[in-house]
Amino acid sequence: MPVLEPHGKNCYRIPRQGVMKADVIVYLNQSLYEDFKEEQPLQQLVDAASLTGVISPVVGMPDIHTGFGLPIGGVMAMDASEGLVSAGAVGMDINCGVRLLQSNLAVKELSVPELKKLIVAIEKRVPSGIGQKSKHAGLVSRHFNDLLTKGVAHLASIGIGRAKDLESIEDGGCMEGADVTILSQKAVERGLQLSTIGGGNHFIEIGYVDKIYDADAALSFGLHEGKISVLIHTGSRGFGHQVCTDYSSEMKKVAAKYNLYIPSAGLASVPIKSAEGKRYLGAMACAVNFAFCNRQWITDDVRKAFSTVFGGNDADYGLDLVYDVAHNTARFEIIENKMMLIHRKGATRALPAGHPENPKRYRSTGHPVLIPGSMGTPSYVIRAESAVAKIYNSVNHGAGRIMSRTAARKDISVEQLKAGLGAVIVSGRNYRAYLDEAPQAYKDIDHVVDTFTEINVSRRVARLRPLAVIKGEGND
């Protein structure tokens, strides 16, 4: 069983041993460490540290919990020339991510009846739950290939969203290298899900800026205390799931021909420069762009819902895009003068002030990093400090589970869920459908955020409080 040994404040290490080619480093504050009982995610990090071409260390985030292959909250860097790429180390929901909109509406001026009307108006436009199809299926079909290769810029060109949104999306809303010719027919058939949020931990949340910690950064980000905000959390839906399924299967079949040591099926890998590796990266980029477009189309639908409920034009209410960050990607990056392929699974990129790949508007502060909590708990906007480079410019992507979905459904009652939610409105479905997403099933978001702020890897900018949440049934 892998054993964590102290390695500095809020930091623990599993030194390389046996077949490991890299150390494992896990970041937990004292409270999270004391409560950490899972063995499997540590073994998954050890397995990742045993792959050919891996760069030391392999990193576990404060929200770490068991995944398939690489744990959720795992970061693995590979040498871009000699290393491997693993579909499982990216995950099924490629570019699951979060975006934040800031309105100019004051929370004290929004009544509960108006809030409920807004939720209904959003739900009429944005389907939620597993297997749901887009209400824009005709447009999706006509523009599908362009959306996968050009990303959000193409959506903007056909009037979906605002042109200035592109200034506030990771990669400008388009990862290069997308290749539609290598997608399976089944993946294409599952592509009619743009502007849907799916199930599981995906959501649309209406909240407000509850507290500002860094006034200068908050002003740069356009965040104002007491103003209504919207968080959107979803990804590439069934399309990305199929891409991962297709290429995980292929990688498992061909790994032997490259004489690779593969410690688990979930970490099936191929050389980055192999034909299979290049095909996966091209298909993955399609799914990344699909997800960016998904959140952009939802943004457009949310803005229109505000107009429906409150009248006028959506711009009357601000609803400016603060930022959109991706989770679950593999991307080439230069860190400390070395080209790497960074696999982030349940982790998000976090660029500090001055980093040249920040959007121009955030060059002096570093881009906003969005850390959503669970239903009923706060979310945070943070920014990275220069020390983040030692963990591949990465931080955690959320609170992280402490209970499996099965255990949560078994051990958490509807009454406990309602108590955890407090006054937060959850869109009108049976509460029992959301037991696996209860706040009690997740780690304390403050401990998770504190883990990095206490060691100057990141800094809090603002805290968001939820008012109402739209979630779909099912887990995808």
Residues designated catalytic: 397
Measured distance CA(99)–CA(292) in Å, rounded: 10
- State the CB neighbour count (10 A cutoff) for residue 112: 11
8 Å CB contact between 97 and 398: no
Sheet containing strand 11-14, edge to edge, reads 5-6, 11-14, 24-27, 58-65, 72-79, 338-345, 329-335
DSSP string, 283-345: HHHHHHHHHHHHHHHHHHHHHHHHHHHH-S-GGGG--EEEEEEE-SEEEEEEETTEEEEEEEE
Give how far Cα 91 sits from Cα of 119, 269, 356, 423, Å. Answer: 30, 13, 28, 34
Q: Residue 59 forms beta bridges with which residues?
A: 25, 75
Measured distance CA(395)–CA(75) in Å, rounded: 9
Q: In 3D, which of 344, 287, 292 has the Cα closest to residue 323?
A: 292
Measured distance CA(52)–CA(54) in Å, rounded: 6
The full 3-state SS of 342-360, as one line of letters, equals EEEECEEECCECCCCCCCH
According to DSSP, residue 61 is labeled E
Q: Say if residue 57 is preceded by a cis peptide, omega within 30 of 0.
A: yes
Q: Are strands 24-27 and 11-14 parallel, antiparallel or unpaired?
A: antiparallel
